[in-house]
Amino acid sequence: MKKIAYFDAGIITPEEILIAADLVPIRLLGNPNIGIDKANEHIPPTHCVWARNILEQAIKGLDSDIKGVIVTHGCDCTNREFDIWLECVDLDFMFFLNAPLKRDKTSLKFFVKDMKELITQLEENFNVSITNEKIIESIKLMNKIRNLLKEISEYRSKMILKGSEFH
């Protein structure tokens, strides 16, 4: 299966839509075992280490099954970094998902429009059909996964499972 990577500072990226597109969502995390030399050539040191580390991983080459990336509006670092990805990273698909900063009707309309554009771009670029039925099934799957993760997480509070084992 094709994978699509994403990185965001929150939980904005709609994994359910990616799954409905028959893609495997992969969240990019920082890797403390690599340097950030290549990223430092493109990003000033004022950008956070996490953002530079993610770019470093991408420049060095992500998993060959990863066919695209979605970057969500987070901080100024990640917002500006998307432009650098467009220039420096060789992926078939890149999408910047705007996340509203307010919770009002205008922001919701804007976000829905951006989500619809994401669906259109995924359908066109990966030659798939994302139906409402597929989205509903993906929502059910992700809700089940989240509930199971919540159950496992409860073992952390009882000191049965360490945080490092959970992640």
pLDDT tens, residue order, the chain (167 aa) = 899 999 876 678 899 999 999 999 999 888 888 888 898 898 888 888 888 898 899 988 888 889 999 998 877 777 778 888 898 888 989 999 988 888 899 999 999 999 999 999 999 999 999 999 999 999 999 999 999 988 888 877 777 777 777 66
Sheet holding 66-72, edge to edge: 24-27, 3-7, 66-72, 93-97
Q: How many CB atoms lie within 10 A of CB 42?
A: 17
CA–CA dist 43, 35 (Å, integer): 14
Pick the CATH number of 3-128 from 1.20.1260.10, 3.30.750.24, 3.40.50.970, 3.40.50.11890: 3.40.50.11890
User: What's the pLDDT score for residue 9?
Assistant: 64
Q: What is the pLDDT of residue 105?
A: 94
pLDDT reported for residue 136:
97
CA distances from 165 to 6, 78, 143, 156, 161 (A): 23, 28, 22, 9, 6
Query: Domain map of the chain by residue range?
Result: 3-128, 131-167
The reported pLDDT for the residue numbered 166 is 67
